[in-house]
A = this chain, B = another copy of it.
Amino acid sequence: MVELLKCRSLAKKLLAFCLFLCFASFAFQSVEAKVRYHKWEVKYEYKSPDCYKRLVITINGRSPGPTINAQQGDTVIVELKNSLLTENVAIHWHGIRQHGTPWSDGTEGVTQCPIVPGDTFVYKFVVDRPGTYLYHAHYGMQRESGLYGLIRVSLPDGESEPFSYDYDRSVILTDWYHKSTYEQATGLASIPFVWVGEPQSILIQGRGKFNCSTPGIETGLCNATNPECTPFSLTVVPGKTYRLRIGSLTALSALSFEIEGHNMTVVEADGHNVEPFVVQNLFIYSGETYSVLVKADQDSSRNYWASAHVVSRNSTTPNGLGIINYYPNHRLRSPPTIPPIGPRWNYVAPRIAQSQAIKALKGYIHTPPERPDRVIVMLNTQNRIDGHVRWSVNNVSFNLPHTPYLIALKQNLLHTFEQTPPPEGYDATNYDIYGVAKNVNATISNSIYHLKFNSTVDLILQNANTMNVNNSETHPWHLHGHDFWVLGYGTGKFNISIDSEKYNLVNPIMKNTVPIHPYGWTALRFRANNPGVWLFHCHIESHFFMGMGVVFEEGVEKVNRLPTSIMGCGETKRFLKP
């Protein structure tokens, strides 16, 4: 008995010491540590995120990958080992502007050669703003094989957010296909064109539920009781307020996210503080992040549904469902209600209304330059070029060169891509944006826009009809290396003399990803003040694959000596001097 007591006393002391050590190391880290080092191994593994078994690209065995937590001003280092068998990789740090490190943007073909199997590549960059960001593969259509995750950057010690909450939680929303990206891409590049179709599932934080009784699927692949596809569950303490960071990395789908019976107050968008507004459902497009505040103020005797619903496409994909778990109910106890259906897929007005509601928070406004030095109007169309279905900007469909632009431009390999710049606009007078896209003179090109350093550039994204009658899609456009001011949204054909007068120059939000709505336009402004080469593209994986993107160069002469680790492909082989 005495022995036992002694033992207990020793154990207590040991525990106290351990706690002290933990706390000490934590305190030390949060004050001093400025380098966040991650060692990642990327490989294929069999996973069943929606109960259906397929190959998934994992990071250290996980998909979604590990969350990168850092503090403003920290340096993030990711040492990435490619353990895919025959397949290369590159990872983009979505929303991180890469000031001074344009070679770490992770955009294959733009800022680096792909990382070949067996090689280790080191990404190193500073996270210079607090907020919620993403990372994901930026090579081929790999993103939708599961290689993605979240970046959370906190404020410096002593500073606090302009909103308050008790707990900080996050979810990434994705859509999920059962076919491999090779299968999808082969169809997209085929004549005749084979569309990938609608995704099989919506995943909330990597978890969904496909109906294993679906007829015609291969036997043995779907297992409804696989623990990998137990639903996402967020436990909340009654009365507490949660900051929920929501990111979307869907391959295709625009989503409406809601928590049954709860309001959400939007407070952050793409790393910028938002003048708060309340929504019942949050529309979120691929590449966007939001923080919403949710108070656990409902009946605590039950759980509630979290639901992600496809909008903007007449989709067959069922809603993704998770559980908001009121403590102390069981975390997987099914809510007693029918899950929310979500808004009508083709009801555009509330989506435009939400886009327009997002303004910069007072006290956190970055005032944009009053007028632009240059305006580029970008007509978004679907075209058929040489028998292939493509997406184009001003009738030019983008393809990547074999030598990454950043290297080509810095090392004077200008023959590696077309030098005639792409068009500044389209024939707005005569083009009917409501008619089926005429496919006159559409071409495929890898030419780029050169921007005067430090100049102010307006981008007018103009939507139009696709190749199908009465159809215009929603496209989330993402700009690398910058945030832009969102000056305005409108419906119909943009008219520069009228519409530019209505720009919000008072408190426009800054973002890195923004939708254009069907038959609508979106006006953006940014300062070309980040030396490098930057992709601007539709964040729908298949649309970018089919040419929906452009590239900007600015101040590339100010970029420091490039690391050779980004080289090895295309014409960079001429630098091999053994």
Contacts and interface: CB of A to CB of B under 8 A. Distances in A.
Nearest to A219: B216
Contacts of A578: 407, 411, 562, 564, 567, 572, 575
A117 B89 CA distance: 11
A182 B55 contact: yes
A192 to B, nearest CB: 12
Q: Copy number of this protein in the oligomer?
A: 2
Contacts of A116: 88, 113-114, 116, 568-569
A76 B555 CA distance: 46
Contact of A575 (B119, B139, B183, B577): B577
Contacts of A186: 44-46, 55
Q: Which 8 A-B pairs have the closest CB atoms?
A: A86-B140, A118-B402, A216-B219, A568-B568, A564-B576, A575-B578, A218-B218, A85-B140
Nearest to A574: B564
Contact of A180 (B180, B217, B411): B180
Contacts of A407: 578
Contacts of A44: 182, 185-186
Given A85-B182, A118-B400, A216-B219, 17 more contacts: A55-B180, A55-B182, A86-B114, A86-B142, A86-B181, A87-B87, A109-B118, A411-B578, A564-B573, A564-B574, A564-B576, A564-B577, A567-B568, A567-B578, A568-B568, A568-B569, A568-B576
Interface string A75-103: 00000000001111100000000000000
Contact of A119 (B46, B119, B216, B402): B402
A565 interface: yes
A399 to B, nearest CB: 10
Contacts of A402: 118-119
17 contacts: A45-B186, A45-B190, A46-B190, A85-B141, A86-B87, A87-B87, A114-B117, A116-B568, A118-B402, A118-B569, A180-B180, A180-B182, A216-B220, A411-B578, A564-B573, A564-B577, A568-B573
Contacts of A185: 44, 85
Contacts of A141: 85-86
Contacts of A46: 186-187, 190
Interface in A174-217: 180-183, 185-187, 190, 215-217
A570 interface: yes
Contacts of A140: 85-86, 117
B565 A573 contact: yes
A567 B573 contact: yes
Interface in A521-578: 562, 564-565, 567-570, 572-578
Contacts of A573: 564-565, 567-568
A113 B215 CA distance: 45
A323 B46 CA distance: 40
Nearest to A188: B85
Contacts of A181: 85-86
A191 to B, nearest CB: 11
A185 B117 CA distance: 14
Contacts of A575: 576-578
A405 B142 CA distance: 30
A406 to B, nearest CB: 12
Contacts of A400: 118
Nearest to A56: B186
A545 to B, nearest CB: 9
Contact of A576 (B217, B567, B570): B567
Interface in A111-139: 113-114, 116-119, 139
Contacts of A567: 568, 573, 576, 578
A93 to B, nearest CB: 19
B576 A86 contact: no
A44 B183 CA distance: 9
A116 B218 CA distance: 33
Nearest to A141: B85
Given A46-B186, A575-B578, A119 B569 contact: yes
Nearest to A81: B402
Interface in A141-193: 141-142, 180-183, 185-187, 190
Contacts of A562: 578
Point out which of A46, A185, A578 has the most chain B C-beta atoms below 10 A from its C-beta. Answer: A578
A139 B569 contact: no
A213 B89 CA distance: 39
A570 B119 contact: yes
A86 B484 CA distance: 31
A471 to B, nearest CB: 26
A243 to B, nearest CB: 36
Interface string A405-432: 0010001000000000000000000000
Given A118-B402, A215-B219, A570-B118, A139 B86 contact: yes
Point out which of A45, A181, A187, A575 has the most chain B C-beta atoms below 10 A from its C-beta. Answer: A575
A575 to B, nearest CB: 4
A225 to B, nearest CB: 19
A45 to B, nearest CB: 7
Contacts of A565: 573
A359 to B, nearest CB: 40
A400 B407 CA distance: 30
